[in-house]
Amino acid sequence: MDKEPLTLLKDSVLALPDSQRKVANYIINHPTDVAFMTVDQLSSNVGTSTTTVMRLMANIGYSGYSEFQKNHQQMLREQASPQTRLEANLKSHNQSQSWTHYMERQLESIQQTATLNTEAMLNQAIEFIVSSNHIYTTSVRSGLPVAQYLVHNLNRLVGNAKFNLADSSDWVDDAVGMTKDDLLIVVSYSRYGKRIIDYARVAKEQEAKVIAITDSYSSPVVPYADLVLPCHSLGIASHNTIVPTMFMVDYLISAIALNYPNLTKDRLKDVNSILLSMNYHKE
């Protein structure tokens, strides 16, 4: 199709039946959210049926919701370069409201991320972590702080976690020894680093489990993932924001510490004992 999905909706909205117009308006007003939603989630949020959503897709020329969403996600990726984001955000920027606007946007992103990641999904991630022999985390660029924070705390709690920078080839030495009892946690945002995808692919070939913490179900790491944890990452300027992801990751760390005390208490005690013996902390 020549036109972008949102443009098709905007051009068609006035000619649509009322029920379909309601869906179209929701998509137009929540473009980033819809990129992550299933057709059931979309119809539930709008308060209509999946049949209405599918009829809307047919009316604007798509074979179904999946085709529309794929094209929509591609459009969002193409708009994701830092300079494009900055130019778009400058149009709505009001310096006097910067702090308030920032807080509102981040709170919305956290809430949306929380909605997308169900209790069952997070429990599965925790189960993968506590049952794995070795845990590896990886990322590049904007995702680095998330992966490093996660592995630092996991290693303190369970002692078998390691961070590998995807842009370095050192991860290959670990990947060749991966088994079905190991876990790779990938943090990847648009525009996705190629070496992250390579790492996820190799880990999957070694039959390791893979958790993808990423911003879209169309992310190129998703085909290699056993579990996808979607997180909003669109900031108010030019960069990927990690705030919603850090919120979710911090929950995983806290849940493991609280729900598996027999696994974590002794190790935390031993770590603290060594630090005290070194007078590591300033009194």
199-230 tens-digit pLDDT: 999 999 999 999 999 987 778 898 999 999 99
Q: pLDDT value at position 188?
A: 92
Instruction: Based on the fold, state whether residues 148 and 29 are members of the same structural domain.
Output: no
Give the CATH number, domain containing residue 66: 1.10.10.10
Instruction: Based on the fold, state whether residues 253 and 118 are members of the same structural domain.
Output: yes
Instruction: Based on the fold, state whether residues 212 and 264 are members of the same structural domain.
Output: yes
**Domain assignment present for 234:** yes
For residues 252 and 32, give the distance between their C-alpha atoms in angstroms, rounded to a whole number: 24
**Domain assignment present for 92:** no
- pLDDT surpasses 80 at 111: yes
264 or 134, higher pLDDT: 134
Instruction: Based on the fold, state whether residues 12 and 126 are members of the same structural domain.
Output: no
**Domain assignment present for 91:** no
Which of the four pLDDT bands, split at 50, 70 and 90, describes residue 125? very high
Q: pLDDT value at position 79?
A: 57
Instruction: Write down which residue in 53, 78, 103 finishes a domain.
Output: 78
The residue-averaged pLDDT of 172-185 equals 95
**Domain assignment present for 94:** no
* Nearest partner of 211 among 117, 118, 129, judged by Cα: 129
pTM exceeding 0.85: no
- Domain containing 38 equals 5-78
**Domain assignment present for 282:** no
Domain count, the chain: 2
**Domain assignment present for 87:** no
Amino acid at residue number 155: N
